[in-house]
Amino acid sequence: MKVQRSTIFAVNAKSNLHHFHSSQAELESVSKLLDRKWGLQSPATPIHRISGIGKLSFLNNTRPRLGDEVSKKRSSFYILRDDLLHPLVNGNKARKLDALLPLLQDHKVTDLVTCGGCQSAHTAAVAVSCAERGVRSHLLLRGEQPEVLTGYSLVSTMYGNVEYVPRSKYANREEMLRTHADLVAGEDGSVLWVKDLEAMDGFSSSEAASSRKVLIVNEGAGDALALLGMFRLVKYLSEDHLLGKKSRVKFVVDAGTGTSAVGLGVAAMSLGLPWEINAVMLADTLQNYKRHEARLLEEFTRQFLPSIVCSSLDTIKWVERQRPRKFGKVLEGEVEMCRKIAQETGVLVDPMYTLAAWETATELVEDEESSIVVMLHTGGTLGMFGLAQRYKSFFTNSND
């Protein structure tokens, strides 16, 4: 497994070196940061322990011992079942929207514009969440409409307003989103990007009550605000009765845009936790992941934690998946492995995203003796419907 370390820099006038240590003032800043309204009622998530690594069968302990009795056995890893948070809005999508959703109502947002692939879990999560709050969602999906709508494309169509966009136009996402938002807003409405929502104190209070207030959310909710949900999760997991603050933890998360991995890494750094985030690169190059990481970190520290100092702290390891390939391609045997895992553990992973995290977690477990290995299940299970359309032979032969 090829590994690339990521070094995080956030410097101010009193820059110094952090080695898994945060001052009391910094911890208080984080606590204040988390004192806000949230979309999820609780940061809690079911935690299971998978054992049997390297043997013929997997076993799932749905009520493992945690706290002082957390296991460091080489034959097992923990899995955070964020895929169980909501029937349709789950995994890292629920975490990314955790801090954003209350702001929609606080700022009286009427419409939300975002984009994603044909089977985008992000756009489906946005559509459902907006509908639950009386906000109209406008979803720009890349490519052509499928002959049969299934999975996330079906959910997006049922809950939101979908428009399929040619790939050539989709390539310039910022211009595409802004142009569509302007059309939705009309002559009397206003448009704001998520990154400016809190900095500008939202929309102008002088606008007519009947005018549309349109918010633009980047693809995959790749905004600094999305990191707050990961902060909340990490703060919860670091409680003494769960993973604690002293145990060395090797986190594993599959990386689409990489936003979740950055959120986990910055949270662990800010809270002074000896945690390492292993982000499995799925959809982009190492250079682009690190560029996205640098942008998010700069935005986040500027907007939320300008007092946090971190110089030359290695928190995130960008790693290649066991069998690299062009994004969107499923390889022979992967559907069968997903089926084996589901039948033996009750955990459904998909060959596009979460199987990659599962494979990396099992690999780390076999090499690790001093750290706890924890996989974050990022959801995405409805994407299996779209894959079954594209890779019919892999699924029709799964019972042979």
Domain boundary among 221, 237, 272: 221
Q: What DSSP assignment string belongs to 143-164? A: S---SS--HHHHHHHHHSEEEE
- Examine the pLDDT at 247 and tell me if it is beyond 60: yes
Q: For residues 239 and 172, state if they share a domain.
A: no
| Residue 27 binned pLDDT confidence (cut-offs 50, 70, 90) | low
Chain segment 251-278, per-residue pLDDT in tens: 999 999 999 999 999 999 888 899 999 9
Q: Residue 101 and residue 129: Cα distance in Å, rounded?
A: 8
Q: Residue 194 and residue 100: Cα distance in Å, rounded?
A: 8
Chain segment 166-201, per-residue pLDDT in tens: 999 999 999 999 999 999 999 999 999 998 887 666
Per-residue pLDDT, 75: 85
Domain membership of residue 17 (yes or no) is no
Residue count of the chain, please give it: 400
Q: For residues 154 and 302, state if they share a domain.
A: no
Q: For residues 322 and 374, state if they share a domain.
A: yes
Q: Residue 126's domain spans which residues?
A: 91-221
Nearest to 267 by CA among 302, 297, 244: 297
Q: For residues 231 and 202, state if they share a domain.
A: no
Beta bridge partners of 80: 47, 376
Per-residue pLDDT, 22: 56
Domain membership of residue 297 (yes or no) is yes
Q: For residues 389 and 250, state if they share a domain.
A: yes
Per-residue pLDDT, 204: 63
Question: DSSP letter at 347?
Answer: -
Domain boundary among 221, 242, 261: 221
Q: For residues 270 and 335, state if they share a domain.
A: yes
Domain boundary among 186, 221, 256: 221
Q: For residues 213 and 231, state if they share a domain.
A: no
The domain tally of the chain equals 2
Q: Calculate what percentage of the chain has a pLDDT beyond 70.
A: 86
Beta bridge partners of 316: 6, 277
Q: For residues 217 and 363, state if they share a domain.
A: no
- Examine the pLDDT at 10 and tell me if it is beyond 50: no
Domain membership of residue 383 (yes or no) is yes
Domain membership of residue 2 (yes or no) is no
Catalytic residues: 120
**Encoding tokens for residue 30?**
């984080």
Per-residue pLDDT, 163: 97
Q: For residues 263 and 374, state if they share a domain.
A: yes
Q: Residue 389 and residue 330: Cα distance in Å, rounded?
A: 12
- Examine the pLDDT at 14 and tell me if it is beyond 50: no
Q: For residues 100 and 147, state if they share a domain.
A: yes
Domain membership of residue 144 (yes or no) is yes
- Examine the pLDDT at 341 and tell me if it is beyond 60: yes
Range 302-314 average pLDDT? 65
| Residue 369 binned pLDDT confidence (cut-offs 50, 70, 90) | confident
Sort 285 into a burial class: Cβ within 10 Å, 0-12 / 13-18 / 19+: exposed
Q: For residues 64 and 100, state if they share a domain.
A: no
Q: What is the CATH number of the domain that holds 203?
A: 3.40.50.1100
Helix (H, G, I), strand (E, B) or coil at 324: coil
Domain membership of residue 14 (yes or no) is no
Is the pLDDT higher at 389 or at 142?
A: 142
- Range in 252-261, 279-288, 303-312 the model is least confident about: 303-312
Domain membership of residue 346 (yes or no) is yes
Domain membership of residue 1 (yes or no) is no
| Residue 202 binned pLDDT confidence (cut-offs 50, 70, 90) | low
Q: For residues 290 and 345, state if they share a domain.
A: yes
